[in-house]
Amino acid sequence: MKQMVVDAKQLDFWNKWLKESEIDFDKVDFPYDATLFCQTVEFDDGTFADLKVCSGQTNLWCEMVWFDKEGNEIACSDACADELEGEWEYPLDGGDYNVEVVRG
């Protein structure tokens, strides 16, 4: 399992907004349908994963996206609206590509 350390202030900020069921994006100056936060962790074999916070039309959601060495998407977690910390799992033949997001 690869560890991704995310700044505590970033975690607190995004986790707060992920808990909101409806957000007035114009009031808080968030764009619609956009990636608002992205942090990358690289695995020893050159593959990598992005932790993302994204906006929709009424709320925020998060996901983990895995990429091969050339940057092609190979997997994506289910979208969730919980919080960023914890284990994100992707079983891929030939390696362990699980990510643990921890507070830094």
Question: Going edge to edge, which strands form the sheet with 86-88?
Answer: 2-6, 99-103, 86-88
Task: Encode pLDDT of 62-73 as tens digits.
Answer: 999 999 999 999
Q: pLDDT grade, residue 94 (50/70/90)? A: low
Q: pLDDT grade, residue 2 (50/70/90)? A: very high
Task: Encode pLDDT of 8-19 as tens digits.
Answer: 999 999 999 999
Global pTM value: 0.93
- The structure tokens listed for 68 are 């091969």
Map residue 78 onto helix, strand or coil: coil
Which domain covers residue 90, as residue numbers?
2-103
What φ, ψ does residue 40 adopt, rounded to 5°?
Answer: -115, 145
Count of domains for the chain: 1
